[in-house]
Amino acid sequence: MKFTDSRIADLIVSRIREMGLNLRVMHVCGTHQDTIVKNGLDVLFARCNVEMRQGPGCPVCVTPPKEFEEAKLLAKKGCILTVFGDVVRVPIEGGSLADLRGEGCDVRVVYSVEDAVKVAKSTNKNVVFMAIGFETTAPSTASVLINEPPENFYVLSCHRYVPPALDALLSMGELKLDGLIDPGHVSTIIGLKPYEVLTAKYRIPQVIAGFEPLDLLMAVFMIARQLSNGEAKVENEYTRLVRYEGNQKALSIMNSAFEPCDVAWRGFGVIKNSGMKIKKEFQGHDARLAFEDELKVIRDKEFKEPVGCRCSEVIRGLIYPQECPLFGKVCTPNRPIGPCMVSIEGSCNIEYKYGRLSLRFNRS
Ligand code: SF4
Ligand code: SF4
């Protein structure tokens, strides 16, 4: 089957329309957003009276300014800072991590945590890897930690668990949501169980979806079908890759290196048990402990969001990027004001990439 077959798409759309519902659905994945905008799926959704919102689905966007400041400080103190490509351009007070190079700091872009380890093996200097990502990337970081990395290698763990953020979002109740589309990659690791807890608590239908246009249309159809039948359960549309129990091996590696801790998310504040703290056994590689003294100066400091930036509301699905007055005018991928315009999984970047400077249709 072709996952872009327009005849099947039309059929699914007409089935959703037949149910005659008016729905607001949120998904929490940057790649889902890319598929939706690139293929104009939200226009199709609007035709079936389905309003689609993106929630906290980009790991770079939800990382708050303070964690970037920690990385910045460590680079300034002489560590080699290794980061993923998008991370280096996120604006923080006084510039970005990339701008630090102008001050003589050694900030390098790596494609994987293994690359960061290679850097550590090639030098006597301390190397810090700024580990950003959800359950998808955390097992790789964990695997490095449990396999005796070089002594001069440190992880600044900015990893986060997705389910506690969904819990926080639903408990805030800012938006009345009729259903959630759960992220495909994260779900390959965690399986269905963590979502079932949320559905039991909030009685909200959830569907795990793949990344093709038909996957997302089917996910909406499945949510609509649940609501029509008066059901609320977790369904798996992405059976090609997601198993009920998830990836046990990856989970066990992740759980052997990390334990939950309370951590702040951009746009949310502190979410209980949503952060991944490096376990005691591997604390020799925990940048926050190894450089505790250096980081002390910012421990209790608050860092502000960029002036005028509305990323916090974009991340909570409260506004669309085009509703930010800076979108496409002051804030562009070349001169980003907030992380949502930098990250390839950020809502603002995706809207800009496909040239959508204004909302193309009325979603009210
Ligand atoms: S890591 Fe994968 S599942 Fe998570 S937000 Fe990014 S694309 Fe989506
Ligand atoms: S357009 Fe720019 S300033 Fe506005 S929310 Fe998006 S990233 Fe932030």
Average of per-residue pLDDT across 227-239: 98
Please work out whether the CB of residue 349 comes within 6 Å of at least one atom of ligand 1. Answer: no
Q: Report the nearest-CA residue for atom 8 of ligand 1.
A: 29
Ligand nearest to the CA of 313: 2
Decide if pLDDT at 1 tops 90. Answer: no
Please work out whether the CB of residue 314 comes within 6 Å of at least one atom of ligand 2. Answer: yes
Average of per-residue pLDDT across 52-77: 97
Q: Report the nearest-CA residue for atom 1 of ligand 2.
A: 327
Q: Are 287 and 158 in contact (CB under 8 A)?
A: no
Q: What is the pLDDT of residues 305-356, one digit of tens each?
A: 888 999 999 999 999 999 999 999 999 999 999 999 999 999 999 999 998 8
Q: How many residues does the chain have?
A: 364
| Share above pLDDT 70 across residues of the chain, in percent, rounded to a whole number | 98
Average of per-residue pLDDT across 22-32: 97
Spatial distance between the Cα atoms of 349 and 62, rounded to a whole number of angstroms: 14
Instruction: State the pLDDT at residue 27.
Output: 97
Average of per-residue pLDDT across 121-125: 98
Spatial distance between the Cα atoms of 304 and 45, rounded to a whole number of angstroms: 36
Task: Please identify, by atom number, the ligand 1 atom nearest to the C-alpha of residue 183.
Answer: 3
Average of per-residue pLDDT across 17-38: 96
Decide if pLDDT at 362 tops 70. Answer: no
pTM of the full predicted structure?
Answer: 0.95
Task: Please identify, by atom number, the ligand 1 atom nearest to the C-alpha of residue 185.
Answer: 3
Decide if pLDDT at 279 tops 90. Answer: yes
Q: What is the pLDDT of residues 98-113, one digit of tens each?
A: 999 999 999 999 999 9
Instruction: State the pLDDT at residue 2.
Output: 66
Spacing of C-alpha 88 from chain mean position: 16
Instruction: State the pLDDT at residue 339.
Output: 97
Decide if pLDDT at 21 tops 90. Answer: yes
pLDDT band at 360 (very low <50, low <70, confident <90, very high): low
| Spatial CB neighbours of 32, under 8 Å, sequence gap ≥ 6 | 54, 57, 181, 183, 184, 209, 211, 216
Ligand nearest to the CA of 89: 2
Q: Quote the Cα angle for 281-282-287, to 5°.
A: 140
Q: Are 236 and 244 in contact (CB under 8 A)?
A: yes
Instruction: State the pLDDT at residue 15.
Output: 97
Beta pairing partners, 54: 27
Average of per-residue pLDDT across 281-307: 95
Instruction: State the pLDDT at residue 257.
Output: 98
Please work out whether the CB of residue 184 comes within 6 Å of at least one atom of ligand 1. Answer: yes
Task: Please identify, by atom number, the ligand 1 atom nearest to the C-alpha of residue 345.
Answer: 6
**Measured in angstroms, how far is the CA atom of residue 187 from the centroid of ligand 1?**
9
Would you tell me how many other CB atoms lie within 10 Å of the CB of residue 146?
A: 15
Instruction: State the pLDDT at residue 64.
Output: 96
**Measured in angstroms, how far is the CA atom of residue 60 from the centroid of ligand 1?**
11
**Measured in angstroms, how far is the CA atom of residue 30 from the centroid of ligand 1?**
6
Spacing of C-alpha 65 from chain mean position: 15
pLDDT band at 358 (very low <50, low <70, confident <90, very high): confident
**Measured in angstroms, how far is the CA atom of residue 174 from the centroid of ligand 2?**
20
Please work out whether the CB of residue 338 comes within 6 Å of at least one atom of ligand 1. Answer: no
**Measured in angstroms, how far is the CA atom of residue 59 from the centroid of ligand 1?**
8
Spatial distance between the Cα atoms of 257 and 140, rounded to a whole number of angstroms: 10
**Measured in angstroms, how far is the CA atom of residue 103 from the centroid of ligand 1?**
33
- What is the overall mean pLDDT for the chain? 95
**Measured in angstroms, how far is the CA atom of residue 317 from the centroid of ligand 2?**
13
Instruction: State the pLDDT at residue 91.
Output: 94
Average of per-residue pLDDT across 222-237: 98
